[in-house]
């Protein structure tokens, strides 16, 4: 652990250079330049998008930024109006698409912080500073909240300035959570946009267009362009300035329903440069890593996307990667118990870490629901397959996890996810299940945050889910755009005494469903 009080920090996995009062004075001069105190400096490195924070814990945070040209990232940390430290970060160059990050460690827990971010060129000219606020997790019982959703700019629905942009992100900001959990599909790399469109409910749509969204992503630059496109939205930038992110990934960061080893055999008129999903996924992952505020343990070729985010004594969040380690799609009805969607190493990690957690609530953030099967019978992308009997295919892996939680007497496990483009509350019980070796639990679905809305489905009954609440597109055959307001986010609020309230919201109608849960202690 590196203590900022000792004038040091860890920057993108390497030791950074701490600097004293001079950078603070420098940023004051920067502000003066942009407010008329000093003449403008030409050719300064600007920040075209909002800086942001991510993976905030009790004593650390990742600060991310992107420069307009080769320059060095600088961060000044403040709390309660007091300067704590200034840190010289890494160089932002074309190698990382001019993105950079600083990992601040040794922070005080349970405290509001502000990071002032700017970039300085080779000539010493400094660009416009941006401010990012975040609150570190508490070490003593305290109220905690987060919001989750997923699925951004899908089905051809991008940034519609006439609508106010990506309005789901504005809803998240209005709820003022401690952090925003994005459960994947941060981009839709495989779905081109047209400038003008209309949904089947009569809502006309005009997309803000860039070269990156007009075609499928194949090159690294294509994938980067998709991430830049989302950051052009005003509501997204406003959210990131005030709310830190926990980022996951799923299929559309690469290609719909892809799996390792797959080769594209259709859409050959669109994929003319690269059709190997392993190559596309490597490029998509690199762009995701460059543009997400994630720490050094998630970066690099061998870095794991799945990880645990501890947010005080009441909450641990376990972020899964249900994309990188799965076996091939198919009918997903094998009796072979070794079928996998997490992979043995990740599944073992999840069982071990959830079982060892001392947090009141263990929230498992999944890429997709446990019991909602994808439509194509010969290309099942999901855990389930609509066979209500004993576990088959990838359900074996989930069954082992649920049995392990029961054997270890793990209490207060909740699953949250997005992916299926509607919102729902599912209660799982062995009394209704074909497989009964598990304790009852809840799964909550909420999304999309900025994409087409789909119809709610009846889940596979292998694990006995009951649909307590669901809302989505009332028609399975009619396209619904975000203009209808059925964009969904879920909210978790944990009180100081450990009670958890889950609320499902839509942009159009606000709170749709809510319930408070008392934690089990034995």
On whether the CB atoms of residues 427 and 438 are closer than 8 A, the answer is no
The candidate with the shortest Cα–Cα distance to 459, out of 435, 428, 421, is 428
What is the per-residue pLDDT for 22? 35
Alpha helices in 5-160 (DSSP H): 21-34
Residues of the chain with CATH 3.60.21.70: 144-517
Count Cβ atoms within 10 A of the Cβ of residue 302 and give its class: 0-12 exposed, 13-18 middle, 19 or more buried: exposed
CB count, 10 Å around CB of 62? 25
The DSSP secondary-structure symbol of 461 reads S
CATH topology of domain 144-517: Purple Acid Phosphatase; chain A, domain 2 (3.60.21)
Q: Which two tokens stand for residue 521?
A: 């202690």
The CA-CA-CA angle for residues 66, 72, 77, to 5°, reads 80
Number of H helices, E strands in the chain: 7, 25
CB 465 within 8 A of CB 427: yes
> Against a cut of 0.85, is the pTM above it?
yes
Q: What CATH class is the domain 4-135?
A: mainly beta
Alpha-carbon span 248 to 252, nearest angstrom: 12
- Report the distance separating Cα 106 and Cα 383, nearest Å: 40
Tokens found for residue 154: 């899908």
Burial 489-522 (b: 16+ CB within 10 A, else e): bbbbbbeeebebebbbbbbeeeebbeeeeeeeee
pLDDT in tens, the chain (522 residues): 333 332 233 333 333 333 333 333 344 444 444 444 444 445 789 999 999 999 999 999 999 999 999 999 999 999 988 999 999 999 999 999 999 999 999 999 999 999 999 999 999 999 999 999 999 999 999 999 999 999 999 999 999 999 999 999 999 999 999 999 999 999 999 999 999 999 999 999 999 999 999 999 999 999 999 999 999 999 999 999 999 999 999 999 999 999 999 999 999 999 999 999 999 999 999 999 999 999 888 887 678 999 999 999 999 999 999 999 999 999 999 998 989 999 999 999 999 999 999 999 999 999 999 999 998 899 999 999 999 999 999 999 999 999 999 999 999 999 999 999 999 999 999 999 999 999 999 999 999 999 999 999 999 999 999 999 999 999 999 999 999 999 999 999 999 999 999 999 999 999 999 999 999 987
The pLDDT of residue 14: 30
Q: How many residues in total does the chain contain?
A: 522
State residue 522's pLDDT score: 72
Residue spans in the chain of domains classed CATH 2.60.40.10: 4-135
Give me the sheet containing 130-135, strands edge to edge: 17-19, 82-92, 71-79, 112-120, 130-135
HSE-up (13 A, CA, CB side) for residue 258: 29
Asked if omega into 448 is within 30° of 0 (cis), the reply is yes
Q: How far, rounded to the nearest angstrom, does the alpha carbon of residue 260 sit from its chain's CA centroid? A: 21
Write out the H or E segment, with its range, that includes residue 279: helix 277-291
* Intra-chain end-to-end CA distance of the chain, in Å: 34
Q: C-alpha distances in angstroms, 302 versus 12, 100, 258, 298, 306?
A: 15, 19, 20, 8, 12
Closest CA to 306 of 257, 277, 344, 332: 344
E strand or H helix that includes residue 156: none
For residues 129 and 27, what is the distance between their CA atoms, to the nearest angstrom? 7
366: how many CB neighbours lie within 10 A of its CB?
A: 26
Q: Residue 185 has what pLDDT?
A: 98
User: Residue 37: its pLDDT value, please?
Assistant: 41
- The secondary structure of residue 137, as a DSSP letter, is P
User: In this predicted structure, what is the pLDDT of residue 301?
Assistant: 65
- What is the SS3 assignment for 57-107? CCCEEEEEEECCCCEEEEEEEEECCEEEEEEEEEEECHHHCCEEEEEEECC
Listing DSSP states for 302-367 in one string gives T--S-EEEE-STTEEEEE--SSSS----S------TT--SS-HHHHHHHHHHHHH--SSEEEEE-S
- Region for 34 from its dihedrals, namely left if φ exceeds 0, alpha if ψ lies in -120 to 50, beta otherwise: alpha
Q: Do 499 and 519 contact (CB within 8 A), yes or no?
A: yes
pLDDT for the residue numbered 42: 57
Cβ contact 317:307 at 8 Å: no
Query: What is the structure's pLDDT at 18?
Result: 36
Residue 43: predicted pLDDT: 73
CA distances from 488 to 166, 445, 485 (A): 12, 9, 9
CA gyration radius for the chain?
23
What pLDDT score was predicted for residue 297? 83
Cα 179 from Cα 14, distance rounded (Å)? 26
């Amino acid at each position: 652990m590196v203590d900022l009080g000792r004038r040091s920090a860890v920057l993108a996995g390497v030791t950074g250079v701490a600097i004293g009062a001079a950078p603070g004075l420098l940023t004051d001069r920067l502000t003066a330049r942009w407010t008329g105190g000093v003449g403008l400096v030409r050719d300064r490195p600007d920040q075209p998008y909002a800086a942001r924070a991510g993976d905030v814990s009790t004593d650390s945070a990742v600060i991310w930024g992107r420069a307009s040209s080769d320059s060095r990232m600088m961060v000044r940390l403040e709390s309660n109006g007091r300067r704590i430290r200034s840190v010289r970060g890494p160089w932002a160059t074309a190698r990382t698409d001019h993105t950079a990050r600083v990992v601040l460690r040794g922070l005080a827990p349970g405290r509001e912080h502000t990071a002032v971010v700017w970039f300085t060129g080779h000539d010493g000219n400094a660009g416009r500073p941006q401010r990012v606020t975040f609150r570190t997790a508490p070490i003593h019982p305290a109220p905690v909240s987060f919001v989750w959703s997923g699925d951004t700019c899908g089905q051809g629905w991008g940034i519609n300035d006439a609508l106010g942009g990506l309005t789901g992100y504005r809803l998240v900001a209005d709820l003022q959570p401690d952090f925003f959990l994005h459960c994947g599909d941060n981009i839709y790399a495989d779905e081109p946009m047209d400038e003008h469109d209309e949904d089947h409910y009569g809502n006309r749509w005009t997309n803000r267009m860039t070269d990156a969204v007009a075609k499928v992503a194949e090159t690294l630059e294509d994938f980067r362009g998709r991430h830049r496109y989302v950051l052009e939205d005003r509501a997204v930038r406003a959210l990131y300035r005030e709310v830190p992110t926990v980022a996951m990934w799923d299929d559309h960061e690469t290609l719909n329903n892809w799996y390792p080893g797959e080769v594209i055999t259709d859409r050959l008129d669109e994929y003319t440069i690269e059709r190997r999903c392993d190559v596309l996924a490597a490029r998509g992952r690199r762009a995701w890593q460059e543009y997400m505020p994630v720490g050094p343990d998630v970066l690099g070729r061998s870095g794991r996307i799945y990880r645990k985010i501890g947010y005080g004594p009441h909450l641990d969040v376990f972020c899964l990667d249900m994309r990188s380690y799965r076996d091939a799609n198919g009918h997903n009805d094998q009796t072979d118990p070794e079928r996998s969607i997490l992979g043995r190493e990740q599944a073992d990690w999840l069982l071990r870490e959830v079982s060892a957690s001392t947090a009141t609530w263990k929230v498992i953030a999944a890429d997709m629901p446990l019991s909602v099967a994808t439509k194509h019978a010969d290309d099942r992308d999901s855990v389930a397959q609509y066979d209500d009997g004993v576990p088959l295919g990838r359900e074996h892996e989930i069954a082992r996890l649920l049995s392990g939680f029961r054997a270890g007497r793990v209490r207060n496990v909740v699953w949250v996810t997005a992916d299926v483009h509607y919102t729902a509350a599912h209660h799982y019980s062995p009394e209704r299940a074909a497989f009964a070796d598990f304790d009852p639990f809840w799964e909550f679905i909420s999304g999309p945050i900025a994409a087409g809305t789909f119809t709610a489905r009846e889940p596979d009954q292998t694990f006995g889910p009951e649909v307590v609440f669901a809302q989505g597109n009332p028609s399975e055959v009619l396209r619904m755009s975000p203009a209808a307001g059925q964009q969904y986010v879920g909210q978790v609020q944990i009180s100081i005494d450990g009670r958890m309230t889950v609320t499902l919201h839509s942009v159009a109608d606000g709170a749709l469903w809510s319930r408070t849960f008392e934690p089990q202690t034995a």
